Amino acid sequence: QVQLVESGGGLVQPGGSLRLSCAASGSTLGDSDIGWFRQAPGQEREDVACITSDSRNTHFGDSVRGRAAISRDNAKNTVYLHMSSLKPEDTAAYFCAVIPKTFMAFMGACPVHAVDHWGQGTQVTVSS
């Protein structure tokens, strides 16, 4: 199983931007579709973005569409989530995870229930 570690979170002012990284250890993520998810306190976990192994297809959640970009560097075994125009409601713990290929292939999406293994996540706080 690919082990993923999220990083790049922190305190960001409203309107700011950040880049989160999802790095694989112990195995390569080059053959895996990867998704980013987030969970705010008291709320359900939601999908943010996902990308296929070949970077040809991406999906974005409604709450971040137009403000997020997802990319990957398979040579560095890392997937990135770029977010801009951040809002206080973007405050959450952000997680990356491997997505079974059938979801992006047949749904073009990465629902939360597609994930069976979660990492520690990285906290993003948007506040002035």
For 42-77, b where at least 16 C-beta lie within 10 A, e where not — what string? Answer: eeebbbbbbbbbeeeebbbbeebeeebbbebebeeb
pLDDT at 122: 98
Q: What is the pLDDT of residues 62-101, one digit of tens each?
A: 999 999 999 999 999 999 999 999 999 999 999 999 999 9
Q: What is the pLDDT of residues 52-71, one digit of tens each?
A: 999 999 999 999 999 999 99
pLDDT at 28: 87
In the predicted model, is pLDDT for residue 26 greater than 90?
A: no
pLDDT at 30: 87
Q: What is the pLDDT of residues 33-52, one digit of tens each?
A: 999 999 999 999 999 999 99
